[in-house]
Chain A
Amino acid sequence: MKILVALKQVPDTETKVKVAADGRSLDPTDVKWITSPYDEYALEEAIRLKESAQAEVTVVTLGDDKGKDVLRNALALGADNAILLKGDGQGDAFAVASALAAFAKDKGFDLILAGNKGMGGDNSAVGPMLAELLGWAQANVVVKLELSGATFRAEREIEGGSEAVEGSLPAVITAQKGLNEPRYASLKGIMAAKKKTIEEADATGLPAASAWSALTLPPARPEGRKLEGDAASQAKSLFGLLRDEAKVL
């Protein structure tokens, strides 16, 4: 079985987001880039399938040179092959999905695993679009996956419950927190990954269908207010504020 895992490099959650001078993109200075956590569940699932069913695991990311960090990390965790598709991995979801589809088609993959969304962007769009472009079955926001022969059974989270989806391979499955507990790379894996090569190719596919027009940060929180006076008068003014300003009483 051949599995492709699509990985996205995203800013660390602890990054202090700054808007770039153009007013519609992220200022990349001081940003620490990590693998999107949902993609880590996808990768872990693929590596478990490698261990239990001798699957061959290929990882791909769409991006620039720094995307190699994500691929290197995936190799350290146990992926067999890594490909950097050179292009814009941070922009329009349709362009990303179409670049991935162009890369994946005709390569004999039985399964594509990806995160159900890229952390930060939270569009949940690439996985489903990729399945549509390839004409494959799909199951999204999956918390449990079983394969048998050429079919899959996936449990997915839905509002207030869970839903089981069955389908045939090839398929695109997007992972949700709970699918598994991702492992840490071993030192041996890290050292071995240094010796593996990362292939590079230019991304092909359809042009973007949308573009960011503006990016703004939420307004800064107003400074706190300090109440003066003795306890009784403080309580009185607090009551007044809660009733008249916050309108919660």
Chain B
Amino acid sequence: MFPALTEDQLAIQEAAREFATAEIEPGAMARDHSAEFPKAIIGQLGEMGFMGMMVPEVYGGSGVDALSYILALEQISYADASVAVTMSVNNSVACAPIAAFGTEAQKQKYLKPLASGAVLGGFMLTEPDAGSDAAALKCRATKVDGGWKLNGAKAWITNGGVGRYFVTMAITHPELGKKGISAFVLDADQPGVIMSKPEEKMGLRSSKTVMVTLEDAFVADDDMLGQPGDGLKVAFGGLDGGRIGIAAQALGIMQRALDESIQYAKTRHSFGKPIGEHQAIQTYLAEMHAKVEASRLLIYKAAMLKDAGKPCTLEAATAKLFSTESAVWVCDRAVQIFGGYGYSREYVVERLYRDVRVTTVYEGTSEIQRMVIARGLTK
């Protein structure tokens, strides 16, 4: 166990573990197979205060620190990474930017329902032709009486179809280039926001990710987050927190893969002994453990820096890169340890192997993390 956790942090970690074990884990495999969105679980997580963990209590949140959030996310992810990503998106990229940039009125109108779990939110930055290079986005906001009309396409939108309020980036002033991008809170509950059917994903099957078409979708003047031209600032403002969150998601998945592997290595026999007594398997377990532990330290350190109000861009990118790449490797080894059974949909490591794969891709690919890290080192 990490030696420096406060009593509050331990209590929150325990609450998340208890709920995840009793309520999330039991249906995880069935939801993976059916791709059914865990609506009731997300509702319960909202009631317990897990959907707006770092939002101050006056805005419906739980007012806890980033490390507590990370501890909870890790536990939820251990049980079901699909639930974890739904929770992470609502916390890190829907609530956080509104809490940071929103006006009092926006916080009352949008943050309260999002943080208390009454409605689910998301983040619309990526487009079919603008992923890593987010500034290349084309979605256009044109001025109309009292607000703006949005037109364009957004891709890979988590919580699309199941969420309502989305922090959305669009071009308000095309002549200003990158500085002409602004951020809004978009209410998806209107005819101009058209959600496609969810993507058929490799993993995270019960979380919903959709393509969104915006056709004259209306946002009021009061729905702009920050100033005109602040779009990328709003979008990237929460990136450190988001990256630590996805790193924690990866951590939960790989810890599970390791624990499952240890159990299996003790009980499966070959050549007259448990496979865990063959040196090759021992080597895997030892390296898996080392990667899990090292990732945990990087992640907790980044979260602790964030809580101390210190810059943590380098640390967050390092934590995300190392943890997600480690997690992919750890889950791969878990399948290897399980042999043929690791390739069966009846064993959890098969799901972990698919679920973990996206963590090196979203919230900034590993290639982008390396760029951020190198830039931080050489600046």
Q: Taking beta carbons and an 8 Å cutoff, which residues of A are in contact with B?
A: 76, 184-188, 190-191, 194
B53 close to chain A: CB less than 8 A: yes
Which residue in chain A gives the minimum CB-CB distance to B19?
A: A184
A contact residues around B19 at 8 Å (CB):
184
B373 close to chain A: CB less than 8 A: no
- Known A-B contacts A194-B7, A194-B8, A194-B11; the reply to A187 vs B47 at CB < 8 A is no
A-B contact count (CB 8 A): 35
List the 3 closest pairs (A to B, CB-CB), nearest first: A187-B49, A187-B62, A186-B49
- Known A-B contacts A194-B7, A194-B8, A194-B11; the reply to A187 vs B64 at CB < 8 A is yes
CA distance A184 to B44 in the complex (A): 9
Q: From DSSP, what is the main secondary structure of chain B's interface residues?
A: helix
The interface bits of chain B over 22-62 (1 if a CB of A lies within 8 angstroms of the residue's CB, else 0) are: 00000000000000000000001001111001000100001
Contact B48 A191 (CB under 8 A): no
Which of B7, B12, B18, B44 contacts A187, CB < 8 Å? B12
CA distance A108 to B48 in the complex (A): 33
Which of B15, B44, B47 contacts A190, CB < 8 Å? B15
- Known A-B contacts A190-B15, A191-B64; the reply to A184 vs B8 at CB < 8 A is no
Nearest CB of A to B18, in Å:
7
- Known A-B contacts A184-B48, A185-B48, A186-B47; the reply to A191 vs B18 at CB < 8 A is no
- List 13 A-B residue pairs with CB atoms under 8 Å apart, sorted by A's residue number: A184-B15, A186-B47, A186-B48, A186-B49, A187-B50, A187-B62, A187-B64, A188-B57, A190-B11, A190-B12, A190-B15, A191-B62, A191-B64
CA distance A190 to B17 in the complex (A): 14
B201-216 at interface with A (beta carbon < 8 Å): none
Nearest CB of B to A51, in Å:
14
CA distance A194 to B64 in the complex (A): 13
A contact residues around B15 at 8 Å (CB):
184-185, 187, 190
A contact residues around B11 at 8 Å (CB):
76, 190, 194
A contact residues around B53 at 8 Å (CB):
187
CA distance A70 to B131 in the complex (A): 49
Which residue in chain A gives the minimum CB-CB distance to B7?
A: A194
Nearest CB of B to A33, in Å:
13
List 9 additional contacts besides A185-B48, A186-B49, A188-B63; criterion CB under 8 Å.
A76-B11, A184-B19, A184-B44, A185-B15, A186-B48, A187-B15, A187-B49, A187-B50, A190-B15
CA distance A190 to B47 in the complex (A): 13
CA distance A186 to B63 in the complex (A): 12
CA distance A76 to B62 in the complex (A): 13
Nearest CB of B to A90, in Å:
23
CA distance A191 to B49 in the complex (A): 11
